[in-house]
A and B are shown apart, each in its own frame.
Chain A
């Protein structure tokens, strides 16, 4: 600066200035205790940029920023700076911030379509890496609107469609790209993958359709077999229809309703395994059967009771060799057991001849299968519990013996 005094005077001025510090503390000196922190705040010496630039905490940084993003400059320049800023964030994998920068760049609405296309495409990439596929796709579309031949946008669009599993659309994007550059390796690869996945998806659809169909036919055959035998299935979930059900033969209400009911884990016991009646290769039905022992509040679950087997066949196995641990009185020998079927509507107990086959019992008119699982009560003949049990129920001790 021009001063009237030169040479020595300025020196003197300097000396004077330096003299001051001997007595006065430099006002803007760093605090001794936290000088490292302060150091970090100086833009030139910062090691990393802070996440948010708070003008109060970092006035210098805020200043610098406003110089870079000076609104006085032409929009193209501003947009370009924002693009560069976004790219920096992108490199650091800070995609959220990158998106903010790109968005700001796009807001400048500059007339440079190439730049806009790049901003859209880059933002699409950032969204893509964040998993915002729809936004990424929209940005790719916007990029193409601005510049239809922008190959990177096309590639990104195709990738988005792939991730969204819209393979037909992905193929379309690839083909549009290949029109512009038929030898682009990335596009060729994408196209090949999209086609492959599309065909695999079609196969999967066919496979599940075939399986479903098979299931339906099997269900149909099963229901037909049950109906053919004259066995009645009860649908406990619809109590209002109960009355009409017991009059009807089989389940004419439609196979799905009855079959749905067969799927019900409507078993009271904890042993519900989701087992279901099935038809074997010789055409015999195998039912899941529940045996109830009210005396000891126990149950046994037979997952596949062949309709041609008799009760005694199973009882002999279940109680023949070893008596169950809950049989404290050791009295549940097969020859002493009585099997009953309870008609839940009438609350009548019907005794079952243990030598009869399951099929014959199920075919009797008073018998209804509930929740797809026939259940039977097992008591010990003549036991005190038996008598007590009978006194509570309306026992119709009709021996269920089928007419030959």
Chain B
């Protein structure tokens, strides 16, 4: 890469008071480095450059600021850079300070960086710790996420995946699921947010993660939170159900209009079903879901769904809903001890099923390709949505 003297020289150009064009070119060069893996690895050894980038986000030239953020986004996508970014370059205070500023133009880029940084558990934990220390707190993040138009210049949709990443930590789930406060309840309406698939996906991912803690299931399904309708609405369609079936449904699902559409992203649909499946882990949960008439919704959904992966999940859910109660001692599906040989059998079955599903998926894809459907590539999706 660069020699020591070259590096020193370059660093000297990266000051706020250097001539604008020089500054600009130097920043561009760094940005170029971040575009390659080797470049990133090199920069990992040069925290000075990282610090400079962070400082230059306050630059008066918008073009330079954009380049800085672009570089930081690239760097944050590489996990080997995380520790350096957080410890030596101390990026977090700047990020949080600006995130909370309702006038900050580059808030969306900050969300992207934070999402990248929280992808893996170790750094995630660090980010969360600093968040709480700096008095930013999860509460604040949820608050600005839920306020429509908090920042007029930024959409803040990527706070969704950020929350989803953060909830891999039990301490953050614990905060979101605080029974003494109104936190998770504020996120629920966003499962239907039409304006952004990122935001929606982030919220659904967050809810799914939260449902891993089965101690909260009964509370989540109770009136205090009432999570069920918000998970079912994106899966419910315009099909007319009988009056009897309607009256048994949760209020929000009754008498849906003819123009009701289902969630269009199959990954989100799958996550929703997985969340519902998680909620069937306890006996109480199963009971409530049977009482609330979830089955007709899933029945109609099954008729409509085309993606094999999602169909498979749906079938699993339906099996639990209409199946018999497991025998005594096995009521909490998450606590059941599976003997080794059975575990192996299940693993084999799973693999077989997965192969079958993949076959079907391939078939579908082939058919689609034959139809010559041109698909739009997904926009720069920061890693971390799939958690």
Q: Which A residues are within 8 Å of any B CB, using their own CB?
A: 175, 178, 182-183, 188, 191-192, 195-196, 199-200, 202-203, 206-207, 209-210
Contacts and interface: CB of A to CB of B under 8 A. Distances in A.
B241 to A, nearest CB: 11
Contacts of A188: 180-182
Nearest to B146: A175
Contacts of A202: 252
Given A182-B139, A192-B224, A196-B223, A210 B255 contact: yes
Interface of B: 139, 180-182, 185, 223-224, 226, 229, 251-252, 254-257
B251 A199 contact: yes
A170 B252 CA distance: 19
Given A199-B252, A207-B255, 11 more contacts: A175-B182, A182-B180, A182-B182, A188-B181, A188-B182, A199-B251, A202-B252, A203-B252, A206-B255, A207-B254, A209-B257
A192 B254 contact: no
Contacts of B182: 175, 178, 182, 188, 191
B224 A183 contact: no
Given A192-B223, A192-B224, A209-B257, A200 B251 contact: yes
Contacts, number: 38
B223 A203 contact: no
A200 B226 CA distance: 13
**B interface secondary structure, majority:** loop
Nearest to A201: B251
Contacts of A191: 182
A196 B224 CA distance: 10
Task: Give me the 7 closest cross-chain CB pairs, A-B, nearest first.
Answer: A206-B255, A207-B255, A203-B251, A210-B255, A183-B180, A182-B181, A203-B254
9 contacts: A178-B181, A182-B180, A188-B180, A195-B185, A202-B252, A206-B255, A206-B256, A207-B254, A209-B255
A202 B257 CA distance: 12
A209 B226 CA distance: 25
Question: In terms of DSSP, what is the predominant structure of the interface of chain A?
Answer: helix
A210 B243 CA distance: 11
Contacts of A207: 254-255
A209 B257 CA distance: 9
A351 B340 CA distance: 92
A175 B143 CA distance: 11
A190 to B, nearest CB: 11
A329 B256 CA distance: 62
Contacts of A209: 255, 257
Contacts of B185: 195
- Most A CB atoms within 10 A — which of B181, B229, B255? B255
Contacts of B252: 199, 202-203
Give the residue among B185, B223, B251, B257 with the most A Cβ atoms within 10 A: B251
Contacts of A178: 181-182
A16 to B, nearest CB: 79
Contacts of A206: 254-257
Contacts of B255: 203, 206-207, 209-210
Contacts of A200: 251
Nearest to B225: A192
A11 to B, nearest CB: 77
Contacts of B180: 182-183, 188
Nearest to A189: B224
A191 B181 CA distance: 11
Nearest to B224: A192
B197 to A, nearest CB: 24
A193 to B, nearest CB: 9
Nearest to B189: A195
A183 B183 CA distance: 11
A195 B180 CA distance: 17
A183 B139 CA distance: 13
A203 B246 CA distance: 11
